[in-house]
Amino acid sequence: MIALIQRVSHANVAVAGEVIAQIERGLVVLVGVARGDSEREAEKLAERVLRYRVFPDSDGRMNLSVREIAGAVLLVPQFTLTADTSGGLRPSFSSAAPPGLGAQLFAHFVAQVRASGVSSACGRFGADMQVSLTNDGPVTFWLEAEPREA
């Protein structure tokens, strides 16, 4: 599982012109589910997102997590994060989880975040969404359930 997180001052998701989710200060979390992912990856990634320190402390250093600032998260399913872009001029989505599994694991990820007590809002799996945000910094990071070895 992959999460692209962006520190934001505010963000929202609209479907068919209607805003269905919005947050103020916090994180926009774009979530991609790959073939072979399981609930274990969803749980690890949710915890990693919630603990990742991207907000400034009193010295201006990125030492605080979204939990520590009492921020919110806007969770957005995005299967394109799993695309293979290594060849040609068109992405391949063969590494993305099938839609049923993707929806199930995204829902499990959302449940983990909500169980943490962090305020959250959510995009709609499979919908054509318009995501609007103000990236604060800009600050953007790519996270995986388990960090890759260097």
Cα(31)–Cα(75) distance, integer angstroms: 7
Please identify which of the residues 6, 22, 55, 78 carries the catalytic annotation: 78
78 is catalytic: yes
Which of 6, 22, 55, 79 is flagged as catalytic? Answer: 79
- What are the CA-CA distances from residue 131 to residues 2, 75, 85, 134, 150 (Å)? 18, 11, 23, 10, 33
> What tokens does 63 get?
């030492």
Characterise 34 by phi-psi region: left (phi > 0), alpha (psi -120 to 50), beta (else): beta
Residue 30: how many CB atoms within 10 A of its CB? 20
Which are the contacts of 87, defined by CB distance < 8 A and separation ≥ 6?
none
Check 80, 85, 130, 134 and give the catalytic one.
80
Region of residue 123 (left: phi > 0; alpha: psi -120 to 50; beta: else): beta
Our answer to whether residue 106 is catalytic in this structure is no
Active-site annotation, residues:
78-80
